[in-house]
Amino acid sequence: MSDLTVSHVSSIPLEKTEGRKALRDPVSDFKKALIESIDEVNRLEQEARQKAEGMVQGKVEIHEAMIAMEQANLSLRLLIQIRNKMIAAYEEIMRMQL
């Protein structure tokens, strides 16, 4: 039987860690996403209003104005549904017994 020796093993230097990385706050992420969504709906509403005014003045084609108005309408309806779901979730939490 041969004799196995481990004499030529060198250590590998490890990088120093900075500690635990900060976890992302899900509340602030949700808040940021909600604010961005509200801003986007507002932007689409303003764009639709400008296109409608442009259509009346003859500067914008009717189909462009209608598309902008429908986009604004859909985004507003989606935002309202999100609000309704948030209210339902809040009410469900309030009904929970401790």
Within a domain: 73: yes
pLDDT digits (tens, 9 = 90+) for 48-58: 999 999 999 99
Alpha-carbon span 17 to 68, nearest angstrom: 51
pLDDT digits (tens, 9 = 90+) for 51-85: 999 999 999 999 999 999 999 999 999 999 999 99
Q: Based on the structure, what is the number of domains in the chain? A: 1
Local confidence band at 24 (pLDDT 50, 70, 90 cut-offs): confident
Chain centroid to Cα 50, Å, comes to 26
Within a domain: 16: no
What pLDDT score does 65 carry? Answer: 96
Which of 61-82 are b and which e, b meaning 16 or more Cβ less than 10 Å from the residue's Cβ?
eeeebeebbeebeebeeebeee
Within a domain: 55: yes
Range of the domain at 86: 26-95
Residue 11 has pLDDT above 90, yes or no: no
Within a domain: 12: no
